[in-house]
Amino acid sequence: MNFRRNGDKYLITIEVIALIVVIVFGAVHFVMPDRTEKNNISENAGTQADGTEPAADPGQPADNGAGAEAVVFTPSDSVKAKLESMTAEEKVAQLFITRPEEITGVAQFTQAGKKTKEALSTYPLGGFVFRQENFFGEAAVSQMMSNLQSYSQERIGTNMFLAIDEEGGDRSPLAKGNAYNVEAAPSEMGGADAAGSSASNIAGYMTTNGLNMNLSPTADIAYGDNADNDTYAFGSDSTTVGDSVAAQISSYNGAGVFSVARCFPGKGKATTDSATGMLWMTDNLADLEASDFVPYKKAVDAGVPAIMMGNVLCQSVTGEETTPCSLSSNAVNYVRNTMGFTGILMTDDLSDTTINGVYSQDEAAVAAVKAGMSMIYVSTGFEGSYNAVLSAVNSGEISAEQLDDAVGRILTIKGI
């Protein structure tokens, strides 16, 4: 065959074949986009053509992490080892912070001796909360706290949280009990510098007496219609309040005192629900994030070790009408995921009668652990709540993973 003579024919044939290949390849690519393109489509689902997120359904609470799965907590090897060595009873006891009278049976707790040691042997608690009636002079208080830590170390191998609510003004149980100078109430401090200085002073006499946790600062905003709340708020502007809260937390951290920012989501705008008697916040999530939540986010950024969750109904966070934030997994996930908080989430006092319009105290204690709370505060009725949680653990209603997550966060903050 003469190639030169038939070259034109071959060239035409090759061109036709090449054209067919291009057409077939293009058709396949059009029908079946490549893996990268499919991934991009999947990742951008729900994004509008202009690159913005579609507006949320105004009839539903915004998500913003509230409905997401809680961030997984990974304890250190030392905490894991400690958890493996603990019984279920010991773990459940660590969940609770209560008044010392609750386990000792005394009417007024002023010293820690043999009876206290025996009580802590039965219930190796996470911590105690003290009141002014427990304090009668620096020497007596220091000895009492030293004994408590010694008993706790001997029984469970970790310190207790020894807590007070010492904010200044009328909330100064240790200062008043031991005749120290009473700091100004937060509303009278006038800014972050004064707030930080006040916290340093409070931390100074707390550590001298052996106390290591303050249920403070209040991170609520004053709205002018709640006298008690407004007195213990740092002001009516979210930035001022947030900066003052952060300054106090930094002072407490520097002094080795565990602070507790309280009480999320805030009480400043709350009204009382006529059906349950509980506090109710009706603001939408965007408004709360722009105002009431600012101090809590600043508290997280400042390294607060614990946040107290309020017995407050707030549907825009919880997605539910009758579940308070202290018992809501959505509220827990919001603080964990959206605010990035990994420390201890503590309930407000579950002995407070305002929560009993929907839950009994014992039911609330179980619900709190199931929701992902780390620590349960009860000022009264400890034994019933402890037994309810232990029963839920033994039955599997509270999983081993939920229990270890809560106790692991407590042990981590305690320095295990």
268/348 same-domain check: yes
In terms of phi and psi (left: phi > 0; alpha: psi -120 to 50; beta: otherwise), the region of 244 is alpha
**How much of the chain, in percent, has pLDDT values that exceed 70?**
82
| Burial letters 308-321, b for 16+ CB under 10 A, else e | bbbbbbbbbbbbbe
Amino acid, res. 299: A
Domain that holds residue 28: 3-39
pLDDT value, residue 71:
63
Least confident of 36-45, 56-65, 92-101, 135-144: 36-45
217/107 same-domain check: yes
pTM of the model: 0.83
29/161 same-domain check: no
> Is there a domain that residue 49 lies in?
no
Sign, CA dihedral 77-78-84-90, equals: negative
User: Contact at 8 Å (CB) between 151 and 159?
Assistant: no
287/379 same-domain check: yes
27/140 same-domain check: no
Number of domains composing the chain: 2
At 300-340, the pLDDT tens digits run: 999 999 999 999 999 999 999 899 999 999 999 999 999 99
* Domain harbouring 175, CATH code: 3.20.20.300
Output the six-digit token pair for 59: 């009839």
User: Contact at 8 Å (CB) between 137 and 178?
Assistant: yes
> Is there a domain that residue 394 lies in?
yes
CA proximity to 158, closest of 120, 126, 201: 126
At 146-163, the pLDDT tens digits run: 999 999 999 999 999 999
228/330 same-domain check: yes
265/168 same-domain check: yes
Assess whether pLDDT exceeds 70 at residue 215.
yes
